[in-house]
Amino acid sequence: MNITLRHVSKRYPNGYLALDNVNFELTAGEFAFLTGHSGAGKSTLLKLIAGIEFANQGQIRVGNYDVTTLKSRHIPFLRRQIGIILQTPNLLMDRPVFDNIALPMVIANASYREIQSRVRAMLAKVDLQHKEKCYPYELSTGEQQRVSIARAIINKPSLLLADEPTGNLDPKLAAEMMHLFQQFNDLGMSILIASHDLALINQCHHRILTLTQGTVCTDG
């Protein structure tokens, strides 16, 4: 799924201008990093694309959806095509790992057998085979992060938005996750990852968008 942002500005209700006239395009199947100093507006940008926050100005197109004018009853259907990994892993604390990862498939009305085989496969990919029955509070932060990665990609969305997905992982695991994202990208998934782990970003040789004070200033 491609993303197009034109003259997008976001001012938070408290008056703070988090994004100021942002323009860029991500073509379908592209893999790009979004970087910038803390507070530059990376998370804000991802939230605007997913329809979690709304722009005050400009236009955001995601696939066939115009997010800026999207009616709230259509938002669920946009979200189903986007895998979202938020900066803070937001898992259901009263459900085991298996249920957390299965949730998008449950929402998409998949059969239990389908769910079971896909969840098991995902667990292997994020190296959590033996934690299926654990509750999130029994996991390390890095493990929780991997659960939220598995949850984001289990439904093979056409776009993945990830906010610091490797923030709490050691370099080896971080590289493994990047490799996992790469595999999905090879299958055609568009990917936009916000990160300030420059070492990791430079390993990957992908397009890099840099946000400075709410505007995209370098691209490439």
Partner 1 sequence: MHRWLTWQVQAALNSLGKLIRSPFVTLMTCSVIGVALALPALFFVALQHADVIHDPLQQSVQLTLYLKKNTTDVAAMSLAHEIEKRTDVKTVQPISPTAGYKELQQQMGLDDATTKLLGNPLPWAIIVTPAANYQNPAELNQLSQSLKQFQSVDSIQLDRIWAEQMATLIRLAHRITEALSVLLAAAVLLIINNSIRSATEHHQEEIKLIQLIGGTPGFIRRPFLYTGIIYGVAGAVIAWLLVTLFVFVLQEPIQHLASLYDSDFHLHGMNMSQFLILLLVSSGLGFLGSFLAVARKLSG
Ligand X SMILES: Nc1ncnc2c1ncn2[C@@H]1O[C@H](COP(=O)(O)OP(=O)(O)OP(=O)(O)O)[C@@H](O)[C@H]1O
Residues that bind Mg ion (CB under 5 A): 42-43, 87
- The binding site for ligand X (CB under 6 A) comprises 12, 14, 16, 18, 36, 38-44, 87, 196
Report whether 38 contacts 211 (CB < 8 A). Answer: no
Please give the Cα distance from 129 to 132 (Å, whole number). 6
- Smaller CB distance to partner 1: residue 14 or 109? 109
117 binds partner 1 (CB under 8 A): no
- Smaller CB distance to ligand X: residue 90 or 116? 90
- Smaller CB distance to partner 1: residue 36 or 118? 118
92 binds partner 1 (CB under 8 A): yes
Sheet containing 17-26, strands listed edge to edge, beginning at the edge strand earlier in sequence: 17-26, 3-11, 57-62, 65-66
Nearest distance, CB of residue 119 and ligand X, angstroms: 29
Task: For residue 133, give Cα distances in angstroms to 90, 100, 120.
Answer: 18, 10, 12
Exactly one of 16, 69, 77, 198 binds partner 1 (CB under 8 A); which one? 77
Nearest distance, CB of residue 145 and Mg ion, angstroms: 14
187 binds partner 1 (CB under 8 A): no
- Smaller CB distance to Mg ion: residue 50 or 123? 50
- Smaller CB distance to partner 1: residue 42 or 151? 151
- Which residues form the interface with partner 1 (CB under 8 A)? 50, 52, 73, 75-80, 84, 86, 90, 92-93, 103-104, 107-109, 111, 151
